[in-house]
Amino acid sequence: MVFDLRTRKTLENIADFWLDEVKKYGEKDVQLVVIGNKMDCEDTEVTEEDLAAFSLKYGVPCLRVSAKTGDQVELAFETLAKSCLKTFGNIAHEEKNSVVEDLRKKK
């Protein structure tokens, strides 16, 4: 989930609405990363401390990135990928006929 670091309300919308929607309609093992975009801007309302508090409260990794400069974008994808591998890698070992297991065999 991506929000605008310049507007606190966009982070509040994730907390007040979008997290509940994911819990209600998403798969039980859905992997989330909350990403604050526009860290290159000087007028940001959401601080690193705010993101740390959000992460602790909701148990979701939170990162600041800049799509404009590319800062931390790779880290955001790596964070999500590691979370997926941790969760779904374990599932693949439990389910011998899973898609992940089939892909591993092809390598």
Tokens of 61: 């990794």
Residues 6+ apart with CB under 8 A from 10: 3, 4
The CATH architecture one would assign to domain 2-106 is 3-Layer(aba) Sandwich (3.40)
Helix axes 73-94, 99-106, angle to 10 degrees: 100
CB atoms within 10 A of CB 19: 17
pTM higher than 0.85:
no
Pairwise CA distance, residues 42 & 23, whole Å = 34
Q: List pLDDT tens digits, range 45-79.
A: 999 999 999 999 999 999 999 999 999 899 888 88
What are the domain boundaries of the chain?
Answer: 2-106
Q: List pLDDT tens digits, range 15-34.
A: 999 999 999 999 888 889 99
Contact 24, 73 (CB under 8 A): no
